[in-house]
């Protein structure tokens, strides 16, 4: 009778970016119990895939766990698997970053546990055939992938005595197919559990079984006695052997060639498709690729380049780009975390080049065939899109923070950017804002603006869009001029009534700022009207209908101050953007009442000043 090789795989990763306080609880409730069981049961062979963040956390908080795992590895009971250090989706990265992250985790695991890993964990089972070259370069012999990625014939091969092997330009790597949905119940015997794989393979006897466990699942099976029961039954039945991945592959004499389509992933959708359908995720991905190219092309200070690369790799963590289980608040937090690392990497490489002048450039950042515009100054970065003619990313460079919204909003009918323009009638305008809802029947937020002028020398950008307003379908033209300086953005609007009737409406400019902390105590909003200062509560709707000359927003956590100033007094509406009663961004809308005769035009201007704290300068002055 042919033997059945069972390879159990435990995945240990870190969720510390979102739920840092849960790390210790998870260790005490699950991992501690698992390691204790492994130590007392030498016959329990397991393969452990551990992320770099989790290994680092264990090394800092629980050195006893590191010592136990190292001993289990030394007696060949446990095998440690490598992969990308910061748990990235490898097909999204440039090859140099793939290799760098894999080698970084390989080095860390070898130092912690005394043995170099020979296998790789592929996050979310995201696959591309180009990974074969990167894995072989890093000395990997095999990789784990979800069984769902395989064709029906390859599934049968993966469960037969011949494991599958994939090839790219003469380089090969073994693939061990994991089943993550075959977790046994307490009542399952070893025989009944293994028979479920026979049904999956369509054969009389599955001879290769690889099952994935998460710490809570394995801990539950240890507590209810199933794992011990399984070990007892394998001792009686000599045809079943529990082994590590390398032990199994060492005994194999033949393999089955297979082809896995590029771009495959755990849920049978291409990785790039998933990212492309999420605008915020793809925007972050585009920035990551841009900064990755800049880091890898940087020449000069090797120490700063290395530090920049480390920050870049931290920004490549999987959940910032792809995690369908995150709430809007969690998305906001984790993507802001990624932007923080990207901006710090950008800051480090700019220190190498010693260039800190203002730069205005145009290029296709998000790879959609349309030009985006970037202005980089010593104080801020701003990125504009032709869609809506608005700023979709605004970074404070000193504190390395992106102040644009990076998550989906409740009741969001259009992207929440900065300098969004629209027309509205009086009734709908105040009705919507008083109820905390977005405006309906807007004109310009979703229109594509065309470029009518671009001057790098003067740091000016001219945009134009045309649309129709109201029930009468009145034709209107909006010309928009951006003027960039070291610490401010000036936006001039020229509104032209091209219809044959009077244009009577409200013209509004909306800007949405995502502050760096969900704690409203770290925010201060001050509105100046008729030389009187009025404080706005950050978690309540605020409307002041006239005579507003200034609005100042202070993020005390980063000491960043944003000041909006219209060229003539305006009204203002301030709305909190919330999820489950937690405010994570604020919408500021300046508006003017317009009455424009047929064929005439009017002009409005809005200034945004960005100021970083001068604490460093003051400290230097005091020391001198």
- Distance between CA atoms of 50 and 123, rounded to whole angstroms? 11
pLDDT higher than 70, residue 147: yes
Other beta carbons less than 10 A from residue 66's beta carbon: 16
Work out the angle at residue 194's Cα, subtended by the Cα atoms of residues 188 and 195, and round it to the nearest 5 degrees: 95
- Distance of CA 453 to CAs 309, 464, 606, Å? 36, 10, 19
What per-residue confidence (pLDDT) applies to 261? Answer: 79
Tens digits of residue pLDDT in 583-597: 888 999 999 999 999
Most confident of 146-150, 263-267, 450-454: 450-454
CB 326 within 8 A of CB 334: yes
Please name the helix (run of DSSP H) or strand (run of DSSP E) that holds residue 495, with its range, or none: strand 488-497
CB 475 within 8 A of CB 444: no
What is the separation of C-alpha 225 from the centre of its chain, rounded to a whole number of angstroms? Answer: 39
Phi, psi dihedral angles at 82 (to 5 degrees): -95, -150
- From residue 402, give the alpha-carbon distance in Å to each of 178, 395, 519: 38, 4, 17
523 or 117: which leads in pLDDT: 117
d(CA 142, CA 132): 10
Distance CA 413, CA 462 (A): 26
Instruction: Please tell me which residue, 248 or 161, carries the higher pLDDT value.
Output: 248
pLDDT reading at 271 higher than 70: yes
Confidence of residue 325 (pLDDT cuts 50, 70, 90): confident
- β pairing state of 78-83 and 46-50: parallel
Q: Span 508-532, mean pLDDT?
A: 83
Looking at residue 571, its pLDDT comes to: 93
Look at residue 111 and tell me whether its pLDDT is greater than 90.
yes
pLDDT in tens, 552-577: 999 988 899 999 999 999 999 998 88
Q: For residues 178 and 245, what is the distance between their CA atoms, to the nearest angstrom?
A: 11
Contacts of 572 (CB under 8 A, 6+ apart): 527, 542, 543, 544, 548, 551, 588, 589, 590, 591
* CA separation for the pair 562, 487 (Å, rounded): 10
Q: Average pLDDT of 538-546?
A: 86
CA atoms within 13 A on the CB side of 382: 27
Cα Rg of the chain (Å, integer) = 29
Beta strands in 388-484 (DSSP E): 391-396, 401-402, 418-424, 450-455, 460-469, 474-484
Question: Measured between alpha carbons, how far is 106 from 37 in angstroms, rounded to an integer?
Answer: 26
The mean pLDDT value for 296-318 works out to 92
pLDDT for 4 equals 79
Find out whether 80 and 144 touch, Cβ atoms under 8 Å. Answer: no
C-alpha angle 11-13-15 in degrees, rounded to nearest 5: 145
180 pLDDT higher than 50: yes
Residue-level pLDDT at 159: 64
Sign of the C-alpha dihedral computed for residues 241, 245, 246 and 252 taken in this order: positive
Q: Would the pLDDT of 538 be above 50?
A: yes
Flag whether pLDDT at 148 surpasses 60: yes
Residue located via tokens 């959708």: 269
DSSP 140-188: --EEEEEGGGS-HHHHHHHTSSS-EEEEETTEEEEEEEEBSS-PPPTT-
Q: Tally the C-alpha atoms within 13 A of residue 252's C-alpha that lie toward its C-beta.
A: 26
Q: pLDDT-derived band of residue 65, with 50, 70 and 90 as boundaries? A: very high
Residue 611 pLDDT greater than 60, yes or no: yes
Q: Write out the two tokens for 316.
A: 């490549």
Question: Which pLDDT score, from 0 to 100, does residue 14 have?
Answer: 81
**What does the pLDDT look like over 349-366, one tens digit per residue?**
988 776 667 789 999 998
Q: How far is CA 160 from CA 139, 217, 255, 398, 406, in A?
A: 26, 26, 10, 58, 46
Average pLDDT, stretch 441-448?
80
pLDDT above 90 covers what percent of the chain? Answer: 56
Highest mean pLDDT among 144-148, 234-238, 436-440: 144-148
- Give the pLDDT band of residue 22 (cuts 50, 70, 90): confident
Task: Catalogue the E-assigned strands of 3-113.
Answer: 4-12, 46-50, 78-83
| Element (DSSP H or E) covering residue 293 | helix 279-297
User: Who has greater pLDDT, 257 or 86?
Assistant: 86
Q: What is the pLDDT of residue 529?
A: 92
Distance between CA 146 and CA 267 in Å, rounded?
A: 9
Mean pLDDT of 187-206: 68
The pLDDT of residue 157 is above 70: no
Does residue 624 carry a pLDDT above 50? Answer: no
* pLDDT at residue 6 is higher than 70: yes
Q: How far is CA 27 from CA 144, 216, 408, in A?
A: 24, 10, 32
Reported as a pLDDT band with limits 50, 70 and 90, residue 20 is low
Q: How far apart are CA 243 and CA 238, in angstroms?
A: 13
Q: What is the pLDDT of residue 439?
A: 65
Give pLDDT, residue 607.
98
Averaged pLDDT, 427-438: 70
Q: What are the percentages of helix, strand and coil residues in the chain, rounded to 5?
A: 35, 35, 35
Q: Is the pLDDT of residue 242 over 80?
A: yes
Confidence of residue 616 (pLDDT cuts 50, 70, 90): very low
Among residues 337, 340, 393, the alpha carbon closest in space to that of 365 is found at 393
- The residue with tokens 């993966």 is 158
Q: Under DSSP, is residue 413 helix (H, G, I), strand (E, B) or coil?
A: coil
> What is the arithmetic mean of pLDDT over 598-608?
96
**Tokens found for residue 579:** 């999820």
Q: Is 223 helix (H, G, I), strand (E, B) or coil?
A: helix
308 pLDDT tier (thresholds 50, 70, 90): very high
> For 494, how many CA atoms within 13 A lie in the half-sphere containing its CB?
11
- The pLDDT score that the predictor gives to residue 617 is 36
Instruction: Specify the length of the chain in residues.
Output: 624
Arithmetic mean of pLDDT over the chain? 87
Which pLDDT score, from 0 to 100, does residue 134 have?
Answer: 96
Longest C-alpha distance within the chain, in Å? 94
State the Cα angle at 543 between 537 and 546, rounded to 5°.
130
Residue 618 has pLDDT above 50, yes or no: no
CA 445 – CA 457 distance, rounded (Å): 28
Read off the DSSP letter of residue 139: T
The answer to whether the beta carbons of residues 435 and 418 sit under 8 Å apart is no
Read off the pLDDT of residues 471-488 as tens digits, 9 standing for 90 and up: 888 999 999 999 999 999
Read off the tokens for 396. Answer: 């404070």
């Amino acid at each position: 009778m042919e033997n059945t090789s069972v390879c159990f795989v435990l995945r240990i990763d870190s969720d510390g970016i979102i739920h840092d306080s849960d790390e210790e609880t998870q260790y005490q409730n699950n991992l501690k119990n698992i390691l204790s069981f492994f130590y007392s049961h030498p016959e329990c062979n397991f393969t452990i895939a551990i992320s770099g963040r989790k290994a680092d956390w264990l090394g800092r908080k629980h050195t006893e766990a590191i010592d136990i795992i190292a001993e289990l590895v030394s007696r060949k009971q446990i095998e440690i698997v490598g992969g990308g250090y910061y748990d990235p989706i490898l097909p999204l990265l440039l090859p140099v970053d793939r290799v760098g992250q894999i080698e970084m985790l390989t080095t860390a695991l070898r130092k912690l546990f005394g043995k170099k890993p020979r296998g790789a964990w592929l996050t979310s089972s995201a696959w591309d055939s180009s990974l074969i070259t990167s894995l072989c370069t890093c000395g990997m012999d095999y990789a784990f992938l979800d069984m769902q990625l395989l064709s029906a014939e390859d599934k049968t091969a993966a469960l037969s005595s011949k494991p599958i092997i994939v090839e790219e330009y003469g380089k090969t790597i073994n693939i061990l197919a994991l089943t993550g949905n075959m977790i046994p119940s307490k009542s399952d015997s070893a025989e009944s559990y293994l028979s479920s794989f026979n049904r999956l393979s369509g054969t009389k006897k599955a001879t290769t079984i690889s099952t994935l466990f998460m710490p809570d699942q394995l801990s539950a099976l240890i507590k209810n006695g199933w794992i011990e029961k399984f070990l007892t039954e394998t001792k009686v039945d000599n045809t079943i052997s529990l082994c590590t991945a390398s032990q199994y592959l060492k005994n194999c004499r033949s393999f089955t060639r297979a082809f896995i389509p590029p771009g495959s992933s755990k849920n049978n959708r291409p990785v790039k498709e998933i990212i492309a359908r999420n605008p915020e995720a793809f925007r972050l991905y585009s920035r990551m690729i841009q900064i990755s190219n800049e880091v890898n092309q940087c020449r000069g200070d090797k120490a700063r380049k290395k530090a920049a690369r480390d920050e870049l790799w931290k920004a490549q963590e999987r959940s910032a780009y792809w995690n369908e289980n995150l709430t809007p608040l969690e998305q906001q937090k984790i993507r802001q975390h990624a932007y923080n690392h990207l901006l710090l990497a950008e800051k480090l490489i700019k220190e190498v080049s010693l260039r800190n002048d203002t730069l205005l450039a145009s290029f296709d950042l998000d790879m959609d065939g349309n030009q985006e515009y970037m202005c980089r100054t010593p104080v801020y970065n701003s990125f504009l899109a032709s869609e809506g003619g608005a700023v979709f990313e605004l970074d404070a460079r000193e504190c390395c923070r992106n102040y644009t919204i990076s998550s989906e909003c409740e009741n969001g009918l259009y992207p929440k950017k900065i300098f969004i323009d629209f027309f509205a009638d009086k009734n709908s305008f105040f009705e919507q804002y008083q109820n905390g809802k977005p405006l309906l029947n807007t004109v310009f937020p979703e229109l594509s603006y065309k470029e009518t002028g671009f001057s790098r020398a003067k740091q000016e950008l001219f945009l134009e869009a045309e649309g129709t307003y109201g029930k009468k379908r009145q034709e209107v033209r909006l010309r928009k001029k951006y003027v960039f300086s070291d610490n401010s953005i000036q936006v001039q609007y020229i509104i032209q009534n091209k219809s044959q009737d009077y244009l009577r409406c409200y013209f509004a400019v909306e800007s949405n700022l995502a502050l760096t902390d969900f704690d409203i105590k770290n925010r201060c909003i001050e509105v100046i009207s008729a030389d009187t200062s009025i404080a706005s509560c950050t978690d309540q709707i605020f409307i002041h209908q006239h005579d507003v000359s200034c609005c100042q927003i202070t993020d005390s956590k980063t000491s960043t101050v944003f000041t909006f100033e219209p060229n003539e007094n305006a009204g203002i509406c301030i709305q909190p953007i919330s999820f489950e009663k937690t405010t994570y961004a604020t919408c500021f809308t300046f508006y003017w009442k317009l009455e424009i005769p047929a064929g005439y035009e009017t002009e409005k201007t809005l200034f945004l000043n960005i100021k970083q704290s001068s604490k460093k300068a003051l400290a230097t002055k005091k020391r001198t």
